[in-house]
A and B are shown apart, each in its own frame.
Chain A
């Protein structure tokens, strides 16, 4: 009964909350710029609107174009089942699930970028090329970041190793944790195509990454992509929170509340970063990602030295 309730709680969080995060980020950015900004629930409205629309397909595309949003969303949802939210256990956890988690994200990337090339547009090819190039750096960084809690806890289960920082390791391994938290935050920004890696609000296709890959998707297909992107943001934020804010309340209700406070806080942080920074030049992005690898790598080395 209790586990069923926990799984239900996890599923509701995973399915319902994610579209809130981009709304919060945009609101913060608008406020910081002195604008009123779109409503916080804007993405929900967009998703409902897109779900009822027709689809315009490019003549060049094949079934890969339609399969991509479906595969990506499926992969992200399954990956979301492995990440524990707050101090609750994850519904799906087993030895080595951290590898499956990372590779499910990669599966989504494979199909998204393939769909971008499917349109035969130079702009979308450009976006796809950038996406895969930057992923080549963020993926090793993610694995380095996961090695640290894995070493600390001695566990190979995502749920267990992410709960490792809860048990007083801030005192014993503060330095690695800080380094990994910084590294993970960079990965979070890069994987979700936020400033300073990518500017989701830019008006020029030449300078986009994620937005330009999905230029030709429309209607429900675009809805699936936007929903999937928000879920990816949500999952990676949840992952980041375990390292950055390893706090625990006394009761389950307290824990739930804590998570529901922390998650928007992360979105606010992302929004603030986006407000105070400009997008990096494309050729400087790899340096940022290499910095993330170094942060996580040094964190690991400090731990095993």
Chain B
């Protein structure tokens, strides 16, 4: 009985979220109350949805699917259903959906954005509702409806400030990319319908299709969902869209929207029976590529939000590495690989939503007060905004996968899964463990990138007036960040709290609802993580205590002096290392891939003038492939332009020629002459 009612929470939450922006439409642009109504509805809807999701994940039996009383194509009723896998993705969605609405109250305040505030809140609700709908949809058409609701409202969210040309451009690129993805999904579901004869979503039987059809399905899903997930090289829309959207929208997009692509892959590639191991290897390799290239190009960025966007590509890579391992495990029938790979993959979905949400929201606080996204114009913000700085630090440590925070736990699962391929497998599969050093490289590069960001933005001295006069974000912006940071710490210290839910989701994916051996806690010493994490904090606390004790004993006050500049008496803020100079050596090391444009100072004359050094790295796919291709195409088609000069008599001539050509084509020549000349 409880199960029957539990399925209603999420549809109710979807309805509330979808409606949350509508009352605001009837209020005046100057109304300051309407935003509170929308945020309140969003928060209430999120609480309801979270309650429903957790209820499904903690109860052992999934509620039966619920048939909706209408249908459109075919005779089957649309149905929605909940299982642990759907619920697992619903949690970060509702979390960020609610917290982002709260954050947007002051970040995108109606009085600061009178022309697009209402629009943003309306589509925020639609977007969250669309994603929740696709997560619980059990019918292809319903799934696509949710998918398009998400994709289109995200377009309106990205292009909120559509008076700016770069925002419009990013919006259009996003729209083209998302519709290319949707088109691929149409093909996917059409093929699915042809194979199974139904649009209800359930696994394909082993005897229903040959390897060719299944491979086509696999590739369609990989491309269609990969475009949304931002997998390299299909990520080209992502950096621009994330950078130019309002920051709480970037948090939602990076935190959960691109994860819908991951959900689609996990769900629908999981439908395909008896996958060959090469599929998993392909996913693993694209994961490694996305991870390494994503973080490399992140290092080259000097726009705070663009940099974070590239880190989404990196983290999608890590997620795909876990999923690839799980797919290989499924082909070779190794439950342990599946458990650790998919477990790490899913946990990283949560973790990335938490720390990337946190990072984007803290970046938003910075942008809100300084009005610039350029890292090299910031600096020293930790003094003016201590809360934001500390919270950003938590996110930065977490995203680098460092202990004792949550990023470490999920990367650890994936590492362990990859290491398990070393033995006792036949030697050929040990090559999979080459992904281990790749993951280590990703980790080290991410560390470089976040030391750069944290050091340049929050530490040192202000590099501009804007950074000089920064102020702390208001409480309604700090509270969501604080909650996300707390969750990062909690998952890092007490991972055994989430593993039962992970086990359930993995069991759903494997179609093995109750398998006692599929228990992450059995294979990973999670209790020790708690012990070590707590010991870490206690130990660090003890050392700090001793430190202050010894300082007091040493005779009181610590003296404050200017930074030692090796004898130079008047250092200025301009002498600090900038983000460009910090990563210059690394860019040089990877110049073959990054191809940075360096603007070097000219130091020729005896008395050099004012000089500056800066680097710029292009987007590898958009700037280097797609745009040149587009220019080439438009050049080719430009050659056809002389025949289209807007003269009506020329067009009449074309019509005549076309008619003659058609006549020649359809009739034998003799018959034509006969018609024309004999009467």
Interface residues of A (CB under 8 A from B): 51-62, 64, 66-67, 70-71, 73-75, 77-78, 92, 94-96, 99-100, 102-104, 106-107, 109-110, 113-114, 116-126, 128-130, 132-133, 135-137, 139-144, 147, 150-151, 154, 156, 205, 215-216, 219-221, 224, 282-283, 286, 293, 297, 304-305
A106→B402 contact, CB < 8 A: yes
Residues in chain A near residue B573, CB distance under 8 A: 120
> Closest approach, in angstroms, between the C-beta of A117 and any C-beta of chain B?
3
* Stretch of B137-145, B413-421, B599-607 contacting A (4+ beta carbons < 8 Å): B413-421
Q: Tell me if B563 is interfacial: C-beta within 8 Å of chain A.
A: yes
With beta carbons under 8 angstroms apart, the residue of A57, A70, A73, A128 that contacts B560 is: A57
B341 to chain A, nearest CB (A): 14
Give the residues from 563 to 600 in chain B that come closer than 8 angstroms, CB to CB, to chain A.
563-566, 571, 573, 575-577, 581-586, 588-589
**Given B393, B441, B544, B566, which contacts A64 in the complex, CB threshold below 8 Å?**
B393
Please measure, in the bound complex, the distance between the C-alpha atom of A124 and the C-alpha atom of B571, giving whole angstroms: 13
B interface list, Cβ under 8 A from A: 379-380, 382-383, 386, 389, 393, 396-397, 400-403, 408, 411-412, 415-416, 419-420, 422-424, 427, 430-431, 433, 436-438, 440-441, 443-445, 447-448, 450-452, 454-456, 458-461, 523-525, 528, 532, 535-536, 539-540, 543-544, 547, 550-551, 553-555, 557-566, 571, 573, 575-577, 581-586, 588-589
Cβ-closest chain A residue relative to B459: A118
Cα–Cα, bound, A133→B423 (Å): 33
A132, A216, A283, A297: most-surrounded residue (chain B CB, <10 A):
A132
Q: Helix, strand, loop or mixed for chain B's interface?
A: helix
Q: Are B393 and A70 in contact (CB under 8 A)?
A: no
A110/B397 in contact, CB under 8 A: yes
Q: How far is the CA of A74 from the CA of B588 in the complex (A)?
A: 34
Nearest chain A residue, comparing its CB with the CB of B379: A120
A117–B577 CB distance below 8 A: yes
Q: Are A96 and B524 in contact (CB under 8 A)?
A: yes
CA distance A293 to B444 in the complex (A): 14
Find chain A residues with CB under 8 A from B524 CB. 95-96
Check B554–A156 contact: CB distance below 8 A: no
A77 to B535, CA, bound (A): 11
Asked if B539 and A78 sit within 8 Å, CB to CB, the answer is yes
Residue of A nearest to B420 (CB): A156
On whether the beta carbons of A121 and B403 are closer than 8 Å, the reply is no
In-complex Cβ contact of B584 among A109, A129, A143 (8 A): A129
21 A-B residue pairs with CB within 8 Å: A54-B554, A55-B559, A73-B543, A95-B523, A100-B408, A100-B412, A100-B532, A110-B400, A114-B451, A117-B456, A120-B461, A120-B573, A122-B577, A125-B576, A129-B586, A132-B452, A140-B441, A151-B423, A205-B566, A216-B564, A224-B543
Name the one of B444, B559, B582 contacting A135, with C-beta atoms under 8 angstroms.
B444
Distance to closest chain B CB from A145 (angstroms): 10
User: Do B460 and A117 touch (CB < 8 A)?
Assistant: yes
A198 to B528, CA, bound (A): 37
Cα–Cα distance between A205 and B563 once the two chains are bound (Å): 14
For residue B296, give the distance in angstroms from its CB to the closest CB of chain A: 10
| Distance of A132 Cα from B577 Cα, bound (Å) | 14
Q: Please report the C-alpha to C-alpha distance between residue A96 and residue B443 in the assembled complex, in whole angstroms.
A: 16
Q: What is the CA–CA distance of A116 and B582 in the complex, to the nearest angstrom?
A: 12
Q: Taking A54-B551, A96-B416, A133-B589 as contacts, is the C-beta distance between A119 and B563 under 8 angstroms?
A: yes
Nearest-Cβ distance from residue A159 to partner chain B, whole angstroms: 13
Q: Is the CB of A78 within 8 A of B535?
A: yes
Task: List the A side residues contacting B584 at CB < 8 Å.
Answer: 129
Q: Contact at B554–A140, with CB atoms within 8 Å?
A: no
Q: Which listed residue, A53, A57, A122, touches B576 by the CB 8 Å rule?
A: A122
A128: chain B residues within 8 A (beta carbon): 451, 455, 577, 582
Contacts of A109 in B (CB 8 A): 447
CA distance A113 to B427 in the complex (A): 40
* A114 touching B459, Cβ below 8 Å: yes
Which one of A57, A64, A116, A282 contacts B382 once the chains associate, using CB atoms below 8 Å? A64
B562 in contact with A103 (CB, 8 Å): no
Instruction: Enumerate chain A residues within 8 angstroms of B560, measured Cβ to Cβ.
Output: 56-59
- B449's nearest neighbour on chain A, judged by CB, is A132
For residue B422, give the distance in angstroms from its CB to the closest CB of chain A: 5
Given A74-B536, A121-B571: A130 in contact with B563 (beta carbons within 8 A) = no
B562 adjacent to A58 (CB under 8 Å)? yes
Q: Which of A132, A139, A216, A304 interacts with B431 by CB under 8 Å?
A: A304
- Nearest A-chain residue to B559, judged by Cβ: A56
B159: min CB distance to chain A, Å:
36
The 8 Å CB contact of A118, one of B437, B460, B565, is: B460
Q: Pick the most buried of B454, B456, B540: most chain A CB atoms within 10 A of its CB.
A: B540
Q: In the assembly, what is the distance between CA of A122 and CA of B576, in Å? A: 5
Complex CA distance for A114 and B573, rounded to whole angstroms: 17
From known contacts A52-B554, A143-B436, A147-B436, infer whether A58 and B564 are also in contact, taking CB-CB under 8 Å: yes
Indicate if the CB atoms of B437 and A147 lie closer than 8 Å.
Answer: yes
In contact, A135 and B437 (Cβ under 8 angstroms): no
Q: Kindly state the separation between the CA atoms of A40 and B412 in the bound complex, as whole angstroms.
A: 40
Q: Whole-angstrom distance between the alpha carbons of A66 and B550 in the complex?
A: 14
Of the residues B396, B437, B451, contact of A144 by C-beta under 8 Å: B437
Extra contacts besides A56-B560, A64-B382, A129-B582 (6): CB < 8 Å: A59-B563, A64-B459, A74-B539, A120-B459, A132-B444, A136-B444
Contact partner of A132 among B448, B528, B540, CB < 8 A?
B448
Q: In the complex, what residues of B have CB within 8 A of residue A141's CB?
A: 437
CB distance from A56 to the nearest CB of B (A): 5
- Residues of chain A within 8 A of B443, CB atoms compared: 103, 106, 139
Alpha-carbon separation in the docked complex, A125 to B563 (Å): 12
Residue of B nearest to A151 (CB): B422
* B547 and A221 form a contact (CB under 8 A): yes
